[in-house]
A and B are shown apart, each in its own frame.
Chain A
Amino acid sequence: MTGIINLDSAQGHLSAMIVIGLAVFFGTIGGRIFERLRIPQVVGNIFIGLLLGQSVLGLISRDTIRSLESFSLFALSVIGFLIGGELHRDVFRKHGRRFLTIVLAEGLGAFIVVGLLVSWATWMITGNLATSIALGSVLGAISSATAPAATVNVLWEYKAGGPLTTTVFAIVAMDDALALILFSFTAAAATMLTGHGTIGIMASLGHVGWELAGGMMLGTVIGYLLNLLLRRAQDRDSSLAFIIGALALSTGIGKLIGVDTILASMALGFTIVNLAPRRSDKAFKIVEEFAPPIFVLFFVSVGAQLNVGGMAGWMWIIAFVYVIARTIGKFLGADIGSRLAKAPESVRKYLGLCLFSQAGVAVGLSISASHRFSGDLGMAIIMIIALTTFIAQIVGPPSVKHALKKAGEVGMRITEEDLIASYRVADMVNRSTKNFPPDTPLETVLSHIAETDELAYPVVDDTGKLLGVVSLNELRRSFMSRELNKFLVVYDMMEPPTSFVTEDTPLTQAVSLMKRLEVDFLPVVSAQDRNRLVGMLEQQKIRQAISREITRRTRVAEGETA
């Protein structure tokens, strides 16, 4: 301890902090703007990253990005954790083989088509067969990975649920492993082919085996421990702290022992959700709540890393071929795989559209490849993956959204509050309620209510103006004496309307008004003419309609065809 402040490191910290602040702030604004344009927010985040980063403004330097690396790893772990949480054991038991078939088909589809077309295109350009095959096969392997983060983010943003959604969750969780395996093979082969080194295929495979198996073991062990802690944690705050701690530990230890940290956190989420489904619901909700700024920062830094300007001409061509080939491969593979797996039609038709995204794993593999292959080959892999990642990240999320819409899976996992917020009073008002003139004898009213299930009836004058409401509660009092029924009229039993809502009122507002007034119903009047009664809004009817709709959507989301 010299007592001298190290200005450099202090400034380094400061600038990273400023970058984090700017990235989260502008990234969120960008996301919101894109959301308005009906483009998934992730694209907005990445776009802001691109503006702030290497490609345009250069505000976020390479050093800063490097200093955020552990943060990015953590963000990926959070994403992995949430994906793991989606993988309930019974879904796997039910669809396990189907998922495996589809993953193999779409992954190998991309691998084969990209491998062949890129090799061919490179050969046409360079005339060097060995280099061409090396580049093609390595890029092919990388192309089989589908980025979970951006894809899954769209699934969450649109509260998707259904066979397509479930399949996408499973695929993004599984095809990174396939990519790692393919990469280890092809990288070893390419190394020998281009005479870049002496790492044998077996050694390379062993390495991958450890990355995958080690990652899963690590996540499972930490998951067990976290589950023990969560069982004891009563309050939200300590649960949150335990979860963040567990994720950080899993990421850090994973990095230290050289295993796949995303896979570790997926295994962590998977363990938690399958050990204690009910309790873990809360845990995942907590994580989802604190995740948004982390995601924003992560995607902004993904965009900031890309340098679109620094690429050689031929690389653009190969990148173009890569994008086309990967698209074809994924589409063909998804189609063939879905047919083989006898997946529902919506999966076969639209799965291909959900698999464009490419990010962390692809970029990571490309960096790893650049360490192996010196010179142009290594550079080409990095630049091509960077550029195509950018394209895939721009095109990917909107096309996932499109697919979800086409498959009818948007909004299928909506909560009650969300659903209520999506309606207006006009959607729920009972327009066929019987209106009673004030002089209606009570006997008439009583014989009417015996045949219906409304809780309250509006009393209106002959111009249609609302005079009051007569509720079952009030009517019940008249049971005291049957004689009364003969000479009382509805006017004697009605209450003047305590409050009313117009048809165009958001349902959320109407529901909270009923709660505040402690009433079970509200008269609804026309927005244009407040003297004209439209009908009655009943809390019980709303609750029934909402829970019917939730049940319907849950059924769809769980893959039963409605």
Chain B
Amino acid sequence: MTNGDGMRLSDYLTRDRTMILKGDTKSAVLDELIGALAGYIEGVSRKQLTDAVNKREALMSTGIGLGIAVPHVRMEGVSDAFVTVGISREGIHDFESMDEQPVRIIVLIVAPHDRHDLYIKLLATVVSLLKESSLRSRITAAETPEEIYTALTGDRT
């Protein structure tokens, strides 16, 4: 999937970073998502990532409604942008989402500190994709991570 600026989500999201989440709390699912990323990002520890994400969540929840959450953080020492996606079948009830609904789709975005442009573009791309309810249904109905990945990146280009 590309948008007008040539942003391809597949450049930043890999198959093994899409998952069906096991946890049922905000901190548990965030930890799962961070765990999937930690191996990819050199020079930044899992703890550092967790701290940064939590610090941002403390300011204001990234649960933006419609069952979507987009935790995001810019960090020093990160060489490229990374995206990881997870879905929760039961929904996460303590995400403090804007519409106070449980969160089912969580997209974690980690971007290099000095790539403001890329950061905002990724956020915008993810948000505009997930605005479509048909896509949201496909993703939440996915049986396997593969299906999530395909729904997000594959068959729309």
Contact = CB atoms under 8 A, between A and B. Distances in A.
Interface of A: 438-439, 441, 474, 477-478, 480-481, 483-484, 486-489, 491-493, 495
Interface string B60-103: 10101000001010100000000000000000000000100000
Nearest to B55: A491
B60 A486 contact: no
A487 B123 CA distance: 11
Contacts of A491: 56, 59
Given A487-B98, A492-B72, A480 B60 contact: no
Contact of A481 (B72, B98, B128): B128
B116 A474 contact: yes
Given A474-B116, A477-B116, A492-B72, A484 B123 contact: yes
Contacts of A480: 120-121, 124
B59 A481 contact: no
A542 B60 CA distance: 36
A481 B72 CA distance: 16
Given A487-B62, A491-B56, A481 B116 contact: no
A438 B98 contact: no
Contacts of A484: 120, 123-124, 127
A487 B64 contact: yes
B117 interface: yes
A207 B128 CA distance: 95
B131 interface: yes
B79 to A, nearest CB: 18
A69 to B, nearest CB: 68
Contacts of A441: 60
Nearest to A473: B116
A428 to B, nearest CB: 28
Interface in B4-51: none
B73 to A, nearest CB: 9
Nearest to A487: B64
21 contacts: A480-B120, A480-B121, A480-B124, A481-B124, A481-B128, A483-B64, A483-B131, A484-B120, A484-B123, A486-B64, A487-B60, A487-B62, A487-B64, A487-B70, A487-B98, A488-B123, A489-B59, A489-B60, A492-B119, A493-B116, A495-B116
A520 to B, nearest CB: 16
- For chain B, give the interface size range: 10 to 19
Nearest to A476: B120
Given A481-B123, A483-B131, A484-B124, 9 more contacts: A439-B60, A483-B64, A483-B127, A484-B123, A487-B70, A487-B98, A489-B60, A491-B56, A492-B56
A405 B98 CA distance: 65
Nearest to B120: A477
Contacts of B120: 477-478, 480, 484
Contacts of B121: 480
3 pairs of A and B residues whose beta carbons are closest in the complex:
A481-B124, A439-B59, A487-B64
Nearest to B76: A496
Contacts of A438: 59
A477 B117 contact: yes
A249 B127 CA distance: 80
A465 to B, nearest CB: 15
B127 A481 contact: yes
Contacts of A483: 64, 124, 127-128, 131
Nearest to B69: A487
Contacts of B127: 481, 483-484
A489 B70 CA distance: 13
Nearest to A480: B124
B148 to A, nearest CB: 21
A78 to B, nearest CB: 55
Contacts of B59: 438-439, 489, 491
Contacts of A487: 60, 62, 64, 70, 98
A485 B118 CA distance: 16
Contacts of A478: 120
A438 B72 CA distance: 15
Contacts of B117: 477
Nearest to B59: A439
Nearest to A486: B64
With a 10 A CB-CB cut-off, give which of A438, A478, A481 has the most chain B CB atoms: A481
Contacts of B56: 491-492
Contacts of A474: 116
Contacts of A493: 116
Interface in B88-146: 98, 116-117, 119-121, 123-124, 127-128, 131
A481 B64 CA distance: 14
Contacts of B60: 439, 441, 487, 489
Contacts of B119: 492
A366 B116 CA distance: 79
B11 to A, nearest CB: 18
B42 to A, nearest CB: 22
Nearest to B5: A480
A478 B56 CA distance: 18
Contacts of A488: 123
Nearest to B97: A487
A480 to B, nearest CB: 5
Nearest to B72: A492
B88 to A, nearest CB: 19
A483 B128 CA distance: 8
Contacts of B70: 487
A493 B64 CA distance: 17
Contacts of A439: 59-60
Nearest to A477: B120
A189 B103 CA distance: 112
With a 10 A CB-CB cut-off, give which of A438, A439, A486, A487 has the most chain B CB atoms: A487
Nearest to B121: A480
A195 B31 CA distance: 117
With a 10 A CB-CB cut-off, give which of A484, A491, A492, A493 has the most chain B CB atoms: A492
A469 to B, nearest CB: 12
